[in-house]
Amino acid sequence: MSNQPKGHRNETDKTEQLKGFTVDNDGQKLTTNTGLHVAEDEHSLKAGVRGPTLMEDFHFREKMTHFDHERIPERIVHARGAGAHGYFQVYEPLAELTEAGFLQDPSKQTPVFVRFSTVAGSRGSADTVRDVRGFAVKFYTEEGNFDLVGNNMPVFFIQDAMKFPDFIHAVKPEPHNEIPQAQSAHDTFWDFVVQNTETAHMVMWAMSDRSLPRSYAMMEGFGVHTFRLINAEGKARFVKFHWKPVLGTHSLVWDEVQKLGGKDPDFNRRDLHDSIEAGRYPEWEFGLQVLEEEDEFKFDFDILDPTKIWPEELIPVRKVGKLTLNRNTDNFFAETEQIAFHPGHLVKGIDFSNDPLLQGRLFSYTDTQLSRLGGPNFNEIPINRPMCPVHNNQRDGMHRMTINRGPVAYHKNGIAGGAPHPTADGYKHYQEKVEGHVTRERSDSFKDHYSQAALFWNSMSDVEKQHIVSAFSFELGHVKDKAIRQAVIDMFANVSGELSAGIAANIGATPPAKADDKAREAAASPALSMMNTIKTPNGRKVAVLVADGFDGAATEALVRDLTNAGIQPEFLSVRLGAVKSDADSAVEAAHSFLTSDSVLFDAVLVAGGEASVQALAAVPKLADFLKEAFQHYKAIGFGRAEDAEQLLALAGIKAKAGDPGLLAGQGLGQPFIQAVAEHRHWTRQV
Ligand code: HDE
């Protein structure tokens, strides 16, 4: 498009561009699509009040036709998603690494749109399922769009794009009955795993708590593949891209996830939307692992293999910038649904590697978007438009918006003086030297499938290991074919005997006969354990349980402290509406036991006040509410020690002495905030 703003840019520019396409109906008259004012919009045109509808009713026909066609195909993978606008800012110029313009000037804010997604489920499936999450970022740079189309796990299930259709067919609902929705817990997925052992490392990630993010703002992102950064002198280096969440990496627990699927299928989407609305903007630091070309073969893994990480302890992550999401979409379909990402949308200074998974992706994205978005002009859809001018000789096709003037639509031309001209400073592919025989083969250097799966296992805390064993056990419990179950036990004995025997014991399978237990000799990478992440109260939601007569002064002070610490306290009572304190002040209960549930909160605070506590104790659901919060390892605070005693007994909670997640009376305030920041209190598990 040539109608782009010029000169200084900041993060609002994409928003400005989108405004040109945004429509508000405030106070407007109803019209047809051709602008005709409409006098009546409830009755079709009939021959007589009880007669048949007339063909000439163009208003009815237009309304119904548009409705009949308002669905487009959902994405073949990553159908369920949520997106937001924001901006990216680099901390310091990165000219030594890359000539990419958006990585040079710390004062410049590059607009971005980010779409998070689950992979296997349909568009209407629940957010909280065991799955990989997509983390796709579109940077609207001055030099064109750069898409970093990543996931929340740093490796992938397969090593070659040729296998992607097979893998996705195996994980998606089985074709004869379309069961199960958004789950890997079924025969075809696990059959694929045992038949394709390159899946081992990624399966470990998928069975870990990384599959159950508490919030999109609390998960890491990874470019997965090895890319190249190239500086102005033409010097290239290998790079892996990372997103590190400022709130730390935190997950839900499996039981909670399953309940949330029913209580709030939009849990992650809602959290993203509400956080941005409330000004609690999600943030991630952008990280680079950089490898000199001459070091390509220095490791015991192949850097082109997408089932391998570069352990952070070997190649540190350099934090070079920050991504902030600060604006929700105006229209889900127009923006989140119609956005089209592509790992091949590059800018100068960034190039691919020969990772065979990445190479195949370069074909797939445009191809699928042609049918999903209905033709070759989808880059003209407002959310996909670059912020810089677009000039070429591509013309026509379905839904063409641009009105290209003049008779010339070819290169080379003389009539238009050669315009648009290729320029010497345009994108040039890195001149890698390539030679070899044409072949359909996998490199021998891709054949170690277990060492890094074992590294992952060895890096987990005991709690995380228990969760992995339970996850495998749940999944295999849903596999009907006992031979597949056994094959999984035998396959993962190559990773760890402890893991494999643990699963076998849970599902009544035979413990592995022979184990090439790689975990015995594997090292650990502390960066992989979520136990070592950032802990902060920011972004946490606490249910404050109150009923008439609650301790107004103490609760008010606590709520203030929580809010100041970045926590979001929300009142829950026996019914919605105003709840009176002992001092006759009132708070508004936004939730009741009928409308809400403990799985929707990170922690619980039972306000003090005799009358309030007794009214809450009389609600049958209170016991379940507290018990579930406790079983999900959440912090629970009580106004007074005697309330804690009464209500824990009522809920049948048998806490260990000194449980750091149970606090009362004097223990509230900073210690409670600290307990919320801890995320979960795992001493209850081990
Ligand atoms: Fe994708 N992937 N993918 N993928 N992918 C798509 O493109 C594909 C892979 C990822 O929010 C599709 O427009 C192949 C790895 C994300 O719109 C499709 C292979 C990673 C999204 C496609 C992979 C991803 C997609 C479906 C193996 C992490 C959602 C709709 C060679 C690095 C983007 C679409 C959004 C979407 C193909 C593997 C990330 C079919 C062939 C590895 C985040 O083109």
What average pLDDT score do residues 252-278 get? 98
| Residue 520 annotated as binding site | no
Please work out whether the CB of residue 231 comes within 6 Å of at least one atom of ligand 1. no
Rg of the chain over all Cα atoms, to the nearest angstrom: 28
Instruction: Report the pLDDT value the prediction gives residue 115, as an integer from 0 to 100.
Output: 99
Please work out whether the CB of residue 81 comes within 6 Å of at least one atom of ligand 1. yes
Question: Residue 112 in 3-state DSSP?
Answer: strand
| Residue 88 annotated as binding site | no
- Report the candidate in 106, 135, 417 with the shortest Cα–Cα distance to residue 249: 135
What average pLDDT score do residues 117-135 get? 98
Please work out whether the CB of residue 626 comes within 6 Å of at least one atom of ligand 1. no
| Residue 440 annotated as binding site | no
Instruction: Check pLDDT > 70 for residue 2.
Output: no
Please work out whether the CB of residue 132 comes within 6 Å of at least one atom of ligand 1. no
Question: Residue 205 in 3-state DSSP?
Answer: helix
641/646 Cα distance (integer angstroms): 9
Strand-pair category, 236-245 with 221-222:
antiparallel
Instruction: Report the pLDDT value the prediction gives residue 520, as an integer from 0 to 100.
Output: 87
Residue owning the nearest CA to atom 19 of ligand 1: 361
Report the length, in residues, of the chain.
686
What average pLDDT score do residues 220-249 get? 98
pTM for the predicted model, two decimal places: 0.97
For 487-645, strand residue ranges (E) read: 541-545, 568-573, 577-580, 586-589, 591-592, 603-606, 635-638
Instruction: Check pLDDT > 50 for residue 486.
Output: yes
Please work out whether the CB of residue 151 comes within 6 Å of at least one atom of ligand 1. yes
Interval 268-282: pLDDT, tens: 999 999 999 999 999
Instruction: Report the pLDDT value the prediction gives residue 3, as an integer from 0 to 100.
Output: 39
Instruction: Report the pLDDT value the prediction gives residue 544, as an integer from 0 to 100.
Output: 98
Question: How far away, in angstroms, is 77 Cα from ligand 1 center?
Answer: 7
Q: Which residues, in sequence order, are bridge partners of residue 37?
A: 31
Instruction: Report the pLDDT value the prediction gives residue 10, as an integer from 0 to 100.
Output: 63
The 10 Å Cβ neighbour count of residue 35 is 6
* Contact predicate 570/543, CB 8 Å: yes
* Contact predicate 399/374, CB 8 Å: yes
Strand-pair category, 586-589 with 577-580:
antiparallel
Instruction: Check pLDDT > 50 for residue 74.
Output: yes
| Residue 395 annotated as binding site | no
Instruction: Report the pLDDT value the prediction gives residue 4, as an integer from 0 to 100.
Output: 39
Q: Confirm whether 391 is a catalytic residue.
A: no
Sketch out the chain's domains with CATH numbers. Answer: 81-154+212-384 (2.40.180.10), 450-532 (1.20.1370.20), 541-684 (3.40.50.880)
Question: How far away, in angstroms, is 315 Cα from ligand 1 center?
Answer: 26
Question: How far away, in angstroms, is 218 Cα from ligand 1 center?
Answer: 21
Question: How far away, in angstroms, is 365 Cα from ligand 1 center?
Answer: 7
What average pLDDT score do residues 49-54 get? 98
What average pLDDT score do residues 398-406 get? 97
| Atom in ligand 1 nearest the alpha carbon of residue 224 | 32
CA dihedral 341, 342, 348, 354 (to 10 degrees): 150
Please work out whether the CB of residue 361 comes within 6 Å of at least one atom of ligand 1. yes
557/666 Cα distance (integer angstroms): 13
Which run of H or E residues covers position 100?
none
Which of 10, 33, 66, 151 is the catalytic position?
A: 151
What average pLDDT score do residues 284-305 get? 98
Least confident among 106-115, 487-496, 518-527: 518-527
Task: Kindly report the average pLDDT of the chain as a whole number.
Answer: 96
Q: Which residues, in sequence order, are bridge partners of residue 111?
A: 87
305/156 Cα distance (integer angstroms): 9
| Atom in ligand 1 nearest the alpha carbon of residue 160 | 31
CA dihedral 232, 233, 238, 242 (to 10 degrees): -30
Assembly ipTM: 0.97
Residue owning the nearest CA to atom 20 of ligand 1: 150
Please work out whether the CB of residue 159 comes within 6 Å of at least one atom of ligand 1. no
547/609 Cα distance (integer angstroms): 9
Question: How far away, in angstroms, is 114 Cα from ligand 1 center?
Answer: 14
Q: How confident is the model at residue 469 (pLDDT cuts 50, 70, 90)?
A: very high
Interval 108-120: pLDDT, tens: 999 999 999 999 9
Instruction: Check pLDDT > 50 for residue 7.
Output: no
| Residue 115 annotated as binding site | yes
Instruction: Report the pLDDT value the prediction gives residue 6, as an integer from 0 to 100.
Output: 42
Please calculate the CA angle 635-641-643 and round it to the nearest 5 degrees.
85
Interval 207-231: pLDDT, tens: 999 999 999 999 999 999 999 999 9
Question: How far away, in angstroms, is 32 Cα from ligand 1 center?
Answer: 38
Which of 8, 10, 59, 78 is the catalytic position?
A: 78
Least confident among 12-21, 324-333, 375-384: 12-21
Q: Which residues, in sequence order, are bridge partners of residue 663?
A: 637
Strand-pair category, 541-545 with 603-606:
parallel
* Contact predicate 293/228, CB 8 Å: no
Q: Confirm whether 242 is a catalytic residue.
A: no
Instruction: Check pLDDT > 80 for residue 645.
Output: yes
| DSSP notation for 464-491 | HHHHHHHHHHHHHHT---HHHHHHHHHH
Q: How confident is the model at residue 516 (pLDDT cuts 50, 70, 90)?
A: confident
Instruction: Report the pLDDT value the prediction gives residue 513, as an integer from 0 to 100.
Output: 81
